[in-house]
Amino acid sequence: MIIAGSTSVQPYAELLEEAFAVYAENTLLYQCTIDIQGGGSAAGLTAAETNVADIGMSSRELRETEKEQLPYIFEIAKDGLAIIVHPSNPVANLTTNQLRQIYTQETKNWSELGGNDAAIHVITREDGSGTRSAFEELVMGKTEGIHPKAIVQNSNGAVRLLVSDDPNAIGFISLGLIEAHEGQKEVKSLKLEGIDAIPENVKNGTYQLSRPFIFAAKTEPAGVSKDFIDFIFSPAGKAILAQEGLIV
Applying CB under 8 A, the residues found at the interface with other proteins are 7, 38-39, 119, 121, 126-130, 133, 145, 147-154, 158, 161-162, 165-166, 168-169
In angstroms, the CA 247 to CA 199 distance is 6
In angstroms, the CA 14 to CA 26 distance is 19
Nearer to other proteins by Cβ, of 2 and 151: the residue is 151
Nearer to other proteins by Cβ, of 133 and 225: the residue is 133
Nearer to other proteins by Cβ, of 5 and 221: the residue is 5
Distance in Å, CB of 180 to other proteins, minimum = 16
Distance in Å, CB of 13 to other proteins, minimum = 15
Distance in Å, CB of 41 to other proteins, minimum = 13
Beta carbons of 124 and 171 less than 8 angstroms apart? yes
The amino acid at 168: N
Distance in Å, CB of 132 to other proteins, minimum = 9
Distance in Å, CB of 148 to other proteins, minimum = 4
**Residue of 103, 111, 93 lying closest to 132 (CA atoms):** 103
Distance in Å, CB of 198 to other proteins, minimum = 28
Nearer to other proteins by Cβ, of 63 and 185: the residue is 185
* H helix intervals, 104-197: 130-135, 156-165
Nearer to other proteins by Cβ, of 169 and 232: the residue is 169
Question: What residues contact 161, with CB distance under 8 A and at least 6 apart?
Answer: 184
Question: What is the helix (H) or strand (E) element at residue 215, kind and residue range?
Answer: strand 210-217
In angstroms, the CA 8 to CA 5 distance is 9
Nearer to other proteins by Cβ, of 23 and 103: the residue is 103
In angstroms, the CA 128 to CA 2 distance is 23
